[in-house]
């Protein structure tokens, strides 16, 4: 570094709305920010998003990195493109060619508007059925299929000209706490971590442009610091032991796992000292400034000049390899059929479900209005499900606010088959042992471990997933997916 860089070179921020206002542009320029993460608040239409990315690129410069969480399933912000299946749906289909094709299509969606960095694929091995934040975002509960499908996803994104970012290193699959809300621990031995959590990350590093860190304490690696702030993990393990040369970016430093314990500014500096290249300093302008000012001060004193130069080189290389310009020749609607086929391929039968005869009458029990929770979008509401199932059956709807309000006696009073549709992010203890005639799992697939009934798993709630379920109910398609976790699991 011939001159001290501005602190924004080492920070990713978000912007407040669907257009880049002059005040926000000035803020980005003041601190020399090159990286922005977009969210639902920034997205209205494809044309608007393309203009926002063009305006951002002009301000961020040639090293612009414009990112989005675009995993598939519940982690899709734009609602104007065809919806891709979740990772676990692809894991259930277990066709790596399909996973590569779906990932390439997700990449084309983002490239069509000028986004050049996708925070996917998820390489977490979801070993805990009670995991509150990963679940169907993972390809499965075993490292081998996660590695297979992770490799295919990385190849698909690369083919689309999009930078991928694997997450959440070194593994978020064995947690029962959401790091958005608290600081989790994974109390597994180093050999256990090597055999499970580490396996997909370590094997796929040669094909991985970027790695996102997890806000989790792994006592076998560092009994004090979460991975995001651990030099033993980010430098000792990832860089020195495994030889990784790509970009490392933190998960959001506004998540309570970090913010409640360390505060924004100091945590950002600690992450850079640990070996992160880029700190995700999201949130209000004041919170961003706190991190940026702390980094600015640390560049003059605490931070290693040679390591900061190496970080700049890695970030520059990523932006140059995957430039942020929009490819207007791409039409995301072209992949609608691919996504429909992919959702259908993932349909999985559990305990030999049998659909009621089309034209008969059923009682549908479903959540009246699921809500958005942390990183995931809201599931389908009861009225929508009743309307769609009404294309196949005469439907008597019994909506509930929470599962403990369900009146099962009333549900059975009409003598019709009872279908329970679960559309919530989390499992609920009130569903343990209940016995509908058919359970349709439209969100958390592990709900089938609670409900004592034959089930159809869709691994998602988007229109394409619901269309696949309707086709199965009409006996037009079979459920050929393989359950990507053990049938005997509980917890």
pLDDT tens digits for range 151-198: 999 999 999 999 999 999 999 888 766 666 667 888 999 999 999 999
Portion of the chain with pLDDT greater than 70, in percent:
96
Neighbours of 117 (CB within 10 A): 29
Question: What is the per-residue pLDDT for 179?
Answer: 61
Q: Which range is least confidently modeled, 139-143, 214-218, 295-299? A: 214-218
Question: What is the per-residue pLDDT for 182?
Answer: 63
- Rounded mean pLDDT of 76-95? 97
Q: pTM of the predicted model, to two decimals? A: 0.95
Report the mean per-residue pLDDT for the chain. 94
Show the domains of the chain with their CATH numbers: 7-333 (3.20.20.300), 347-473 (3.40.50)
Portion of the chain with pLDDT greater than 90, in percent:
87
Residue 488 has pLDDT above 60, yes or no: no
Q: Which range is least confidently modeled, 171-180, 199-208, 245-254, 295-304? A: 171-180
Question: What is the per-residue pLDDT for 178?
Answer: 63
Question: What is the per-residue pLDDT for 487?
Answer: 59
- The catalytic residue among 55, 95, 142, 180 is 180
- Rounded mean pLDDT of 67-79? 96
pLDDT tens digits for range 121-133: 999 999 989 887 8
Does 222 participate in catalysis according to the annotation?
no
Residue 422 has pLDDT above 60, yes or no: yes
Show the tokens assigned to 428: 């609920």
Question: What is the per-residue pLDDT for 441?
Answer: 97
- The catalytic residue among 63, 69, 174, 251 is 251
Residue 464 has pLDDT above 60, yes or no: yes
Q: How many CA atoms lie within 13 A of 323 on its CB side?
A: 8
Does 149 participate in catalysis according to the annotation?
no
- Rounded mean pLDDT of 447-468? 97
- Rounded mean pLDDT of 270-296? 96
């Amino acid at each position: 570094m011939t001159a001290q860089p501005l602190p924004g070179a080492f920070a990713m921020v978000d912007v407040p709305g669907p257009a880049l206002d002059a005040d926000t542009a000035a803020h980005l320029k003041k601190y020399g920010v090159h990286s922005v993460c977009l969210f639902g608040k920034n997205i209205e239409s494809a044309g608007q998003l393309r203009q926002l990315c063009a305006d951002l690129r002009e301000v961020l410069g040639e090293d612009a990195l414009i990112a989005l969480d675009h995993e598939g399933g519940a982690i899709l912000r734009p609602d104007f493109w065809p919806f891709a299946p979740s990772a676990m749906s692809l894991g259930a289909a277990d066709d790596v060619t399909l996973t590569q094709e779906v990932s390439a299509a997700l990449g084309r969606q983002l490239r069509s508007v000028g986004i050049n960095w996708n925070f996917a694929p998820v390489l977490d091995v979801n070993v805990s059925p009670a995991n509150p934040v990963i679940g169907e975002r993972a390809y499965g509960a075993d490292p081998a299929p996660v590695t297979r499908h992770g490799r295919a996803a990385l190849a698909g994104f690369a083919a689309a000209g999009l930078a991928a970012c694997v997450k959440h290193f070194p593994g978020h699959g064995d947690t029962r706490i959401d790091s958005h809300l608290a600081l989790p621990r994974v109390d597994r031995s180093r050999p256990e971590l090597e055999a499970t959590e580490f396996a997909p990350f370590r094997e796929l590093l040669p094909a991985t442009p970027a790695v996102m860190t997890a806000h989790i304490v792994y006592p076998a690696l560092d009994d004090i610091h979460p991975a995001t702030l651990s030099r033993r993990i980010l430098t000792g393990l990832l860089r020195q032991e495994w030889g990784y040369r790509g970009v490392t970016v933190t998960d959001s430093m506004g998540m309570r796992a970090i913010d409640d314990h360390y505060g924004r500014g100091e945590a950002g500096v600690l992450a850079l000292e640990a070996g992160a290249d880029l700190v995700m300093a999201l949130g209000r302008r004041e919170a961003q400034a706190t991190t940026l000012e702390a980094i600015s001060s640390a560049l003059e004193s605490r931070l290693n000049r040679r390591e900061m130069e190496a970080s700049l080189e890695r970030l520059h290389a990523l932006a140059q390899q995957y430039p942020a310009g929009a490819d207007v020749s791409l039409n995301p609607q072209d992949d609608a059929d691919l996504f429909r086929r992919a959702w259908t391929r993932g349909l999985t039968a559990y305990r030999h479900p049998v659909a009621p005869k089309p034209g008969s009458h059923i009682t549908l029990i479903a959540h009246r209005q699921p809500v958005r929770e942390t990183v995931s979008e809201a599931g389908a509401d009861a009225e929508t499900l009743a309307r769609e199932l009404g294309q196949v059956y005469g439907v008597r709807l019994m909506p509930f606010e929470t599962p403990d309000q369900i009146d099962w006696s009333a549900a059975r009073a009409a003598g019709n088959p009872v279908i329970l549709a679960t559309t919530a992010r989390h499992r609920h203890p009130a569903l343990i042992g209940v016995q509908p005639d058919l359970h349709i799992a439209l969100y958390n697939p592990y709900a089938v471990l609670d409900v004592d009934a034959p089930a159809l798993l869709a691994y998602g709630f988007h229109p394409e997933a619901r269309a696949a379920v309707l086709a199965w109910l009409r006996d037009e398609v079979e459920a050929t997916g393989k359950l990507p976790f053990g049938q005997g699991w509980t917890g």
